């Protein structure tokens, strides 16, 4: 898994690519914590190049979203497709996150 | 009739999951699964193995074995541990109707397994927990 962060005026865009599993999901937690500790209110996770996510990854998305919500912020998802999209749908987590097709659309909605 | 079982035994730890993925891939390739199905199989295995790594052994140390047999385009997979008696199918399903603030973190792994393979069977044999499933399975069973 690779996480690439880009700072925008209203949000941090985290481009998550590759495979997010039990062994590396903690890296996403750390990236979110880092940006939240620096005052970020809104994080956008661009998952267009995410090939695989297991329930440990889902925990990370859920934890970050709950943390941001408690700070009046949000975790926004975009680019969901393939197996990750199916995993979000099977667990009905897709109804808990704002989801956009592209990062541009997510940024424009803030 | 399926092929003889191929078997791999490793410590029941998070760090073993990727080695099990590589091991089962050779069987998945042999029966001609496409890449999307291989990822789904990886997911099912990861969820089962993580459950065992977390809950099977009280002192946290023990082994888990993955075995597979190939048969007519599908794999029969068995996951065996010697931990305490634990049937993951008995776990109460998470409440998917809860909102973001109340949704518990966790409990989604078994749900994913059931959604993907449909039919999963558990048996306690001596001091062993044995979970088995066919992949591709019969498909999701409405929870």
Mean pLDDT of chain B: 91
* Residues in B touching A23 (Cβ below 8 Å): 14-15, 17-18
**Percent of chain A topping pLDDT 70:** 100
Q: Are the CB atoms for A61 and A45 separated by under 8 Å?
A: yes
Q: Are the CB atoms for A77 and A45 separated by under 8 Å?
A: yes
Measured on CA atoms in the order A18, B117, B37, A97, is the torsion positive or negative? negative
pLDDT confidence band for B140 (50 / 70 / 90): low
- The answer to pTM > 0.80 is yes
- Domain range for B106: 6-135
- B141 within some domain: no
- B60 within some domain: yes
pLDDT exceeds cutoff 80 at A105: yes
Is the complex ipTM higher than 0.85? yes
pLDDT exceeds cutoff 70 at A83: yes
Closest CA to A59 of A14, A18, A98, A96: A96
The residue among A19, A25, A32, A55 with the most chain B CBs within 10 A of its CB, best to mutate, is A55
- B13 within some domain: yes
**Percent of chain A topping pLDDT 90:** 100
Q: Provide the pairing of β-strand A12-20 with A99-100.
A: unpaired
Closest in A22, A51, A69 to B101, CB measured: A69
pLDDT digits (tens, 9 = 90+) for B44-64: 999 999 999 988 998 878 999
Q: Which residue's entry shows tokens 């062993």? A: B128
What is the dihedral angle through the alpha carbons of B9, B10, B14, B18, rounded to the nearest 10 degrees? -70
Cis peptide before B136 (omega within 30 of 0): yes
b/e per residue B93-132 (b: at least 16 CB within 10 A): ebebeeebeebeeebbbbbbbbbbbbebebeeeeeebbbb
- B126 within some domain: yes
Q: What pLDDT does residue B139 have? A: 62
- B21 within some domain: yes
Secondary structure of residue A2 in the 3-state scheme: strand
- B142 within some domain: no
Q: What pLDDT does residue B143 have? A: 45
Average pLDDT over every residue of A62-90: 97
The residue among A51, A53, A91 with the most chain B CBs within 10 A of its CB, best to mutate, is A91
pLDDT digits (tens, 9 = 90+) for B11-48: 999 999 999 999 999 999 999 999 999 999 999 999 99
Q: Which residues pair with A1 in a beta bridge?
A: none
Total domains in the fold of chain B: 1
Q: What pLDDT does residue A44 have? A: 98
Q: Are the CB atoms for A51 and B39 separated by under 8 Å?
A: yes
* Residues in A touching B47 (Cβ below 8 Å): 54-55
- B140 within some domain: no
Average pLDDT over every residue of A61-82: 97
Q: What pLDDT does residue B117 have? A: 92
Question: In CATH, what number is assigned to the domain containing residue B72?
Answer: 3.30.565.10
What is the longest distance spanned by two Cα atoms in chain B?
Answer: 50
pLDDT exceeds cutoff 80 at A35: yes
pLDDT exceeds cutoff 70 at B141: no
């Amino acid at each position: 898994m690779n996480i690439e962060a880009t700072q925008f005026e209203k949000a941090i865009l985290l481009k998550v690519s590759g495979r997010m599993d039990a062994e590396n999901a903690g890296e996403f937690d750390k990236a979110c914590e880092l940006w939240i500790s620096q005052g970020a209110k809104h994080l956008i996770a661009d998952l267009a190049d995410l090939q695989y996510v297991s329930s440990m990854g889902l925990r990370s998305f859920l934890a970050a979203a709950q943390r941001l919500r408690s700070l009046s912020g949000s975790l926004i998802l975009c680019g969901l497709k393939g197996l990750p999209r199916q995993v979000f749908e099977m667990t009905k987590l897709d109804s808990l996150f704002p989801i956009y097709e592209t990062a541009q659309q997510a940024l424009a909605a803030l | 009739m399926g092929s003889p079982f191929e078997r791999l035994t490793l410590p029941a730890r998070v760090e073993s999951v990727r080695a099990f993925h590589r091991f089962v891939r050779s069987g998945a390739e042999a029966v001609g699964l496409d890449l999307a199905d291989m990822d789904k199989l990886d997911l099912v295995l990861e969820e089962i193995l993580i459950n065992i790594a977390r809950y099977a052994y009280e002192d946290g140390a023990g082994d888990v074995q993955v075995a597979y047999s190939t048969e007519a385009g599908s794999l029969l997979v068995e996951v065996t541990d010697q931990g305490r008696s634990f049937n993951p199918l008995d776990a109460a399903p998470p409440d998917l109707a809860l909102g973001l603030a109340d949704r518990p973190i966790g409990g989604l792994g078994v749900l994913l397994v059931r959604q993907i393979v449909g039919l999963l069977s558990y048996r306690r044999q001596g001091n062993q927990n044995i979970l088995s499933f066919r992949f591709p399975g019969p498909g999701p069973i409405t929870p």
